[in-house]
Amino acid sequence: MKKIMFTGGGSAGHVTPNLALMDKLRSKGWAIEYVGSETGIEKQIIEGLGTTPYHPIPSGKLRRYFDLKNFKDPFKVVHGVLKAYTLIRKQKPNLIFSKGGFVSVPVVLGGWMNRVPVIIHESDMTPGLANKLSIPFATKVCVTFEESLQHVSGDKAVHTGPPIREELFQGNAKKALQLCDFVSSKPVMLVMGGSLGSVKINQNVRDALEQLLPHFQIVHLCGKGNLDPAWDGRQGYRQFEYIQEEMRDVLALADVVVCRAGSNSIFELLALHKPMLLIPLSRQASRGDQILNAESFAAKGYSRVLEEEQLTPERLTSTVLEVYRDRDRYVSAMKKSNVRSSVDHIIALVEEQAKL
């Protein structure tokens, strides 16, 4: 039987694109396994599906800054490589597909050691550290941005675009209205700080609620452990740690979205034609990939950008109101984009590289 092993984790952005491919491959008769960390969000998401065997392995974090954990985490990586190598040798997948994140490095190395073809997908304009380490051991590297081709040497890189979950196009706004106890006569603002949440975005949104609520009903995805009981029961405001199955309905309901600038999320919003206010992670807190993503979208007229350093409750309120006011212009630009889901393209590449 055809078998593919997926890996990727650390954030939902390293998992959800895999889901789009897994559904399609399963319908084509593939057996699917998933390798992730022992405690990451990928474990929660994949095990929650109840359809895919999940194999946890040790995973150290590859930090670009000084931390005492840097001295012991390399041993976790080595342990992870050994465990991945043994697992792959036992499961005998035809191909490994990696979406990135620190847990993917041992799996890619274990696949290379077992001579199993490896395909990597890079969402951002420039490869992250985990993918940089993995690319030399990969057979092919799929990229979302055409500009990314210059960052992968040789002939490994293939511009595929983003794998977008088909289910996102099947959202039901009426279901989301019931979920949130909202009315249909007032616009809805969706706030997403990423699967792990954003302390700064959460705080500024809550500090701006008195200014925002006269204009919008607000769905706030604030991340695990970031709920604020003080706002429970406030009419027009609903907060959730994380939404999975209902996400398509909430997206269908949203009139404007405030979010980080992770590639997977913003390409999904582009495909759904949702006006966006992007607040990318600052260079102090990241390698700057979200800033590049946001600048690219703003230059194409898909979104407005508010830098984290400029974020205040007042600035947030005025800017999101401007985005909503100009929503027709943003929607028009997004409709002219040639973005499409890369699911079929990537699956064709999988079948080609797996030599089936």
What tokens appear for 146 in the block? Answer: 């055409």
Start-to-end CA span in the chain (Å):
11
pLDDT tens, N- to C-terminus, the chain (356 residues): 899 999 999 887 889 889 999 989 999 999 999 999 998 889 999 999 899 999 999 986 655 555 555 556 667 778 999 999 999 999 999 999 999 999 999 999 999 999 999 999 998 888 888 899 999 999 999 999 888 898 888 889 999 989 998 889 999 999 999 999 999 999 999 999 876 668 899 999 999 999 999 999 999 999 888 999 999 889 999 999 988 889 999 999 999 999 999 898 999 999 999 999 999 988 776 677 899 999 999 999 999 999 999 999 999 999 999 999 999 999 999 999 877 778 999 999 999 999 75
Q: Where are the alpha helices (DSSP H) in 288-336?
A: 289-299, 313-325, 327-335
Sign, CA torsion 155/159/162/166: negative
Residue with tokens 């809550």: 206
Q: Quick check: helix, strand or coil at residue 4? A: strand
Rounded-to-integer distance, Cα 18 and Cα 13, Å: 9
User: What pTM value is reported for the model?
Assistant: 0.84
Answer for the pair 180, 238: CB distance below 8 angstroms, yes or no: yes
- Domains annotated on the chain, with CATH: 3-163+341-353 (3.40.50.2000), 170-335 (3.40.50.2000)
Answer for the pair 99, 14: CB distance below 8 angstroms, yes or no: yes
Rounded-to-integer distance, Cα 52 and Cα 85, Å: 20
Answer for the pair 53, 34: CB distance below 8 angstroms, yes or no: yes
The DSSP H or E segment spanning 7 is strand 3-7
Rounded-to-integer distance, Cα 299 and Cα 143, Å: 20
